[in-house]
Chain A
Amino acid sequence: MKPVEGRAILPTPGIVEIETVNGEKFTKRVDFVKGHFKNPNSLEDCIEKMRACIEYGGLHISKNRMNQLQDLLLGMEKIEDIRQLVLLLK
């Protein structure tokens, strides 16, 4: 592979093939996978991913604290001290 400036080097398109127990085959091809700059994640996608990741992690962060974390990060320009973020991740 030869890198071309501004073009994706990592593999795209994404192709998924599924075969059911009945032998039926389904194929889906996505030229630019979700998250690619030509098919960017929406804000909602990112929030959903963040919440799922935090639930998966080992920090046992409550729903309430997760909401605070989300509000803080999306309103980052308003916070006076970045330490607030560190404290929410304890």
Chain B
Amino acid sequence: MTISEEYARYIGGLRFEALPEEVVAKTKLLMLDTIGVAVAGTSSDTRQVLSKFIPSYEIPGGCSVLSFDRRYTPDMAMLSNGVMSHAYDFDDCHNASLTHPSGILVACLLSLGELSKFGGRDAITAFVAGYEVTVRLGMAATPLGQYTRGFHPTGTVGTLEPLRSAVRLWDWMLND
């Protein structure tokens, strides 16, 4: 089995019922913390930068961005909410992979939640799947080596993260 297949199997097979109680509790705490820092980010200079480019991505029936009134393309909405959650660098960090997984995942869940209907249990399970695979890939991808070459691991291995959660959620919706 390839690494991709192994990860796909893990992501597709994960069930809320299989998650230990402490993992569910920690996930909720990470979500709560990330929502807090993302809202704090709406007062940051970063928000000013977003306000310059986000209007060109406005579409009807799109997704919300914290502190902005209109709807935007899902990818740009996720990017903007993710950026604001990291604006002050007060979001969670997984040290061994040097990634900030929660900001990406919460942004992904907020936007997907506007495009389709899913509940809290699915959100938690998708979050855990995205987190798990991201930090494992992150640890394998020599995080400090990426830094010294000018890359931010959250932006390299992290770009795959919403994809994993999204696939997880779409899969449920298609099969329900």
A82 lies within 8 A of B120 (CB):
yes
User: What residues on B are CB-neighbors of A5 within 8 Å?
Assistant: 96, 139
Q: Which residues of B contact A54 (CB under 8 A)?
A: 35-36, 39-40
CB-based contact A83/B117 at 8 Å: yes
Given contacts A8-B95, A53-B36, contact A81 B117 (CB under 8 A): yes
Q: Count residues of A near B (Cβ-Cβ below 8 Å).
A: 42
Q: Which residue of B lies closest to A73 (CB)?
A: B32
Among listed B1-9, B41-49, B154-162, interface-contacting one: B41-49
Q: How large is the interface on B (under 10, 10 to 19, 20 to 34, 35 or more residues)?
A: 35 or more
By the criterion CB–CB under 8 Å, are A10 and B95 in contact? yes
For the complex, is B20 an interface residue (Cβ under 8 Å from A)? Answer: no
Q: A58-B67, A85-B110 are in contact. Are A50 and B96 (CB under 8 A)?
A: no
Q: Is B93 interfacial (CB-CB < 8 Å)?
A: yes
Chain A residues near B113 (CB-CB < 8 A): 81-83, 85-86
Task: Give the distance to chain A from B153, nearest Cβ to Cβ, in Å.
Answer: 11
A77 pairs with B40, CB closer than 8 A:
no
A residues 48-69 with Cβ under 8 Å of B? 49-54, 56-59, 61, 69
The answer on a CB contact under 8 Å between B35 and A89 is yes
Q: Which of B32, B90, B119 has the most CB of A within 10 A?
A: B32
